[in-house]
């Protein structure tokens, strides 16, 4: 009753004040149990049940301040030595609508209780030097805790370097801010300004080289040089931290605990798979091991979820790319499940014929065509759906008695799928429906993938089709790369035009009587007419002559596209005028050619050239557009009809050829 009242009070505050709720806090208490150790109990705010989801519950994570940790709800931990220890506690609400409670640290004074095996021995490494584990999936504005577990599998004591990489460069913005590292074995943070791997060392005492396991170790060489590991990771990630460790004994295992704060911008990448990486290398250069941790960005901490490797993907060469999907599930019931059926729709554009199963948990065989009594995974590819069924398995429930290992209640399946030949540039989105035995299905979140807009450049060459307007034009068009239906296109054109005007004017100058001495010496009177011809040439040159256009368009299919838009055109005009005068005379009396030539020399032709300055012209046009060809990508031919927005509404036609890249 009390928890219900608290819940409704919080709900009322949220309704009245929106997001101004105070952060949820976690706390814990402890007491000494004689002969067993320190008993820890959490104090948590009430859960806010997500509507329609299975019953909400808390996951628990404890660090005891001595380098060990536990995932139990109320662990009992024996300390080997008496002293003061800083205990770290983190709780995560599953199927909870609220934010996860903030972590809590407290100093605990404990007596010695003797040695006890680590409470999470099931996570000990097998053939690995390094392992990484996320306490919970990252969520915007919440603390994210990662455990780096490393150990010495060599026959000699080791010192070396431990590196942790975060914030992948493939994402446009960093996802995490650094908070702290909690160390318990003397690891010293190292400011690694430059990387210089240590050469091989053989400074080991060998009593009997032939029979000692050290003989095999001295011949050991890592498959990749430490410098190769570091260079690859440094190119993949924006940030890293490095620590030096010393005196790691053969068979010894240690934990290093890291806290990061998820940035608010992480919310836009929910349901995406991201990576963090670790690198373990020894000073003698013989061991260099990398570990990549895959985690899903979540909007809420649901144990049943679906994630995809790429939230945004380029559409160029899309047929050679792939998407990795991961479906995680957890049995939250009171008993074990023997059958888990996972159904997920295939997004339109992905090919079920190009499906590859990458990994799954719990491990089992692939089911044959006939029914078998042993554990196996059955995969069915239906028309528009994938169905994965774990048969004859034992998956404990979180509320099952004596089940303390949360990981044993979880499973996952990861598969890769490629686009088909007819993939469209449309968002890809899917989800999963999970059925445990005959219980109602649990529906996960959606895992969307959007294609990046991308830019397509298209050079173009065109010419006007009207009489007197057949000038050449060169253009550059910019639009999204291979849009599916609607798109927006920007354009810039350079037009080449020159206008010439020629006008001719004839005028009689004068008439008069002039005495002319003929060749025979006789003086005669000749009537003479003088006239001239004026030729005026006006030349207008437009350069630069630019136009800028914006066109919303629509692809009807791969071969036909329609559009309409507006164009602004501006030109700088240069005017030149050239005037030529030609004078002629005519005598009406009979004169010889020589006499006429002499007479014409008295009235020579005149020539004069004038030049004016520059001016600017601009106008607006509306246009309709149709293009035929490979309109999404490739060559196509387009036709446009322009109507000027001015007193003169005379339209004009324009055709051009373009090639989209």
Q: Is there a single domain that holds both residue 327 and residue 384?
A: yes
Q: Does the residue 1 lie in any domain?
A: no
Arithmetic mean of pLDDT over the chain: 85
Residue 55 or residue 228, greater confidence: 55
Alpha carbon distances (Å) from 122 to 119, 126, 337, 393:
8, 10, 21, 20
pLDDT in the model for residue 75 = 93
Q: Is there a single domain that holds both residue 34 and residue 150?
A: no
Strand order in the sheet with 410-419: 305-308, 323-330, 410-419, 350-361
Q: Is there a single domain that holds both residue 463 and residue 610?
A: yes
**CATH number for the domain that contains residue 310:** 2.60.40.740
Query: What DSSP character marks residue 429?
Result: E
Q: Does the residue 17 lie in any domain?
A: no
Task: From 233, 227, 231, select the one nearest 168 (Cα to Cα).
Answer: 233
Of 451, 481, 499, the domain-final residue:
451
Q: Does the residue 434 lie in any domain?
A: yes
Task: From 54, 55, 38, 37, select the one nearest 46 (Cα to Cα).
Answer: 55
**CATH number for the domain that contains residue 185:** 2.60.40.1530
Of 451, 473, 492, the domain-final residue:
451
Q: Is there a single domain that holds both residue 472 and residue 588?
A: yes
Total domains present in the chain: 4
Q: Are 152 and 254 in contact (CB under 8 A)?
A: no
Q: Is there a single domain that holds both residue 530 and residue 628?
A: yes
Q: Is there a single domain that holds both residue 335 and residue 200?
A: no
CA gap 365, 361 in Å, rounded: 11
Q: For the segment 13-37, what is each residue's pLDDT rounded down to a tens digit?
A: 444 444 444 678 899 999 998 888 9
- Collapse the DSSP code of 269 into the 3-class scheme (helix H, G, I; strand E, B; otherwise coil) and give the result: helix
Q: Does the residue 13 lie in any domain?
A: no
pLDDT in the model for residue 607 = 59
Q: Are 393 and 339 in contact (CB under 8 A)?
A: yes
Q: Does the residue 320 lie in any domain?
A: yes
pLDDT in the model for residue 230 = 86
Q: Is there a single domain that holds both residue 384 and residue 485?
A: no
Q: For the segment 339-388, what is each residue's pLDDT rounded down to a tens digit?
A: 999 999 999 999 988 899 999 999 999 999 899 999 999 999 998 899 99
Domain containing 65: what range? 22-123
Q: Is there a single domain that holds both residue 413 and residue 477?
A: no
Q: Does the residue 74 lie in any domain?
A: yes
pLDDT in the model for residue 390 = 96
Q: Is there a single domain that holds both residue 654 and residue 512?
A: yes
Q: Does the residue 8 lie in any domain?
A: no
Residue 403 or residue 273, greater confidence: 273
Of 300, 330, 350, the domain-final residue:
300
Q: Does the residue 7 lie in any domain?
A: no
Q: Is there a single domain that holds both residue 292 and residue 418?
A: no
Q: Is there a single domain that holds both residue 497 and residue 591?
A: yes
Cβ within 8 Å of residue 155, ≥6 positions away: 212, 213, 214, 217, 250
pLDDT in the model for residue 608 = 63
Q: Is there a single domain that holds both residue 227 and residue 252?
A: yes
Going by their DSSP bridges, the two strands 455-464 and 652-660 should be labelled as antiparallel
pLDDT in the model for residue 171 = 93
For residue 544, say if its preceding peptide bond is cis, omega within 30 degrees of 0.
Answer: yes
């Amino acid at each position: 009753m009390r928890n219900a009242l608290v819940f409704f009070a919080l709900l009322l505050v949220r309704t009245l004040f929106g997001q101004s709720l105070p952060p949820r806090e976690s706390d814990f208490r402890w007491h000494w149990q004689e002969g067993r150790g320190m008993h820890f109990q959490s104090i948590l705010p009430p859960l806010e049940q997500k509507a329609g989801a299975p019953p909400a519950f808390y996951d628990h994570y404890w660090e005891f301040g001595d380098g060990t940790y536990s995932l139990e709800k109320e662990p009992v931990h024996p300390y080997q030595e008496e002293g003061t220890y800083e205990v770290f506690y983190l709780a995560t609400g599953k199927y909870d609508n609220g934010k996860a409670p903030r972590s809590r640290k407290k100093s605990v004074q404990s007596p010695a209780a003797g040695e006890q095996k680590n409470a999470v021995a099931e996570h000990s490494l097998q053939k690995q030097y390094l392992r990484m584990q996320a306490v919970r999936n990252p969520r915007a504005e919440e603390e994210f805790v990662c455990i780096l577990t490393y150990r010495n599998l060599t026959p000699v004591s080791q010192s070396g370097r431990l590196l942790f990489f975060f914030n992948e460069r493939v994402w446009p913005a960093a996802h995490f801010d650094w908070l702290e590292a909690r160390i318990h074995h003397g690891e010293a943070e190292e400011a690694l300004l430059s990387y210089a791997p240590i050469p091989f060392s053989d400074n080991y005492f060998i009593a009997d080289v032939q029979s000692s396991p050290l003989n095999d170790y001295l011949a050991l060489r890592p498959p990749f040089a430490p410098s190769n590991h570091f260079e690859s990771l440094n190119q993949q990630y924006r940030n890293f931290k490095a620590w030096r460790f010393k005196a790691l004994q053969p068979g010894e295992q240690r934990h290093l605990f890291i806290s990061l704060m998820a940035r608010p911008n992480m919310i836009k990448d929910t349901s995406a798979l991201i990576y963090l990486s670790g690198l373990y290398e020894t000073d003698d250069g013989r061991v260099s091991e990398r570990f990549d941790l895959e985690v899903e960005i979540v909007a809420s901490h649901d144990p049943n979820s679906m994630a995809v490797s790429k939230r945004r993907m380029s559409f160029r060469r899309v047929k050679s790319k792939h998407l990795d999907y991961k479906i995680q599930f957890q049995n939250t019931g009171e008993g074990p499940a023997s059958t888990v059926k996972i159904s997920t729709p295939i997004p339109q554009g992905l090919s079920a014929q190009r499906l590859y199963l990458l990994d799954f948990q719990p491990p089992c065989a692939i089911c044959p065509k006939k029914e078998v009594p042993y554990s196996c995974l059955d995969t069915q590819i239906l028309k528009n759906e994938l169905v994965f069924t774990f048969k004859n398995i034992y998956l404990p429930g979180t509320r099952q008695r004596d089940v303390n290992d949360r990981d044993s209640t979880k499973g996952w399946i990861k598969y890769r799928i490629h686009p088909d030949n007819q993939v469209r540039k449309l968002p890809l989105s899917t989800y999963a429906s999970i059925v445990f035995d005959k219980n109602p299905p649990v529906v996960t979140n959606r895992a969307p993938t959007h294609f990046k807009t991308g830019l397509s450049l298209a050079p173009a060459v065109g010419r006007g089709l009207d009489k007197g307007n057949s000038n050449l034009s060169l253009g550059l068009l910019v639009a999204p790369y291979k849009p599916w239906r609607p798109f927006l296109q920007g354009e810039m054109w350079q037009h080449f035009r020159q206008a010439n005007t020629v006008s001719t004017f004839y005028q009689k100058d004068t008439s008069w009587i002039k005495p002319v001495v003929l060749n025979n010496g006789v003086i005669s009177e000749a009537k003479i007419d003088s006239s001239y011809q004026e030729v005026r040439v006006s030349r207008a040159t437009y350069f630069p002559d630019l136009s800028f256009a914006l066109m919303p368009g629509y692809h009807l299919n791969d071969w036909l596209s329609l559009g309409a838009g507006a164009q602004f055109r501006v030109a700088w005009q240069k005017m030149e005028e050239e005037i030529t005068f030609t004078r002629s005379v005519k005598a009406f009396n009979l004169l010889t050619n020589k006499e006429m030539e002499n007479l014409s020399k008295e009235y020579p032709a005149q020539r004069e050239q004038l030049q004016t300055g520059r001016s600017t012209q601009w106008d607006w046009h509306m246009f309709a557009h149709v293009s035929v060809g490979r309109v999404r990508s490739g060559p196509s031919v387009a036709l446009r009809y322009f109507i000027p927005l001015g007193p003169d509404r005379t339209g004009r036609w324009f055709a051009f050829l373009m090639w989209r890249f």
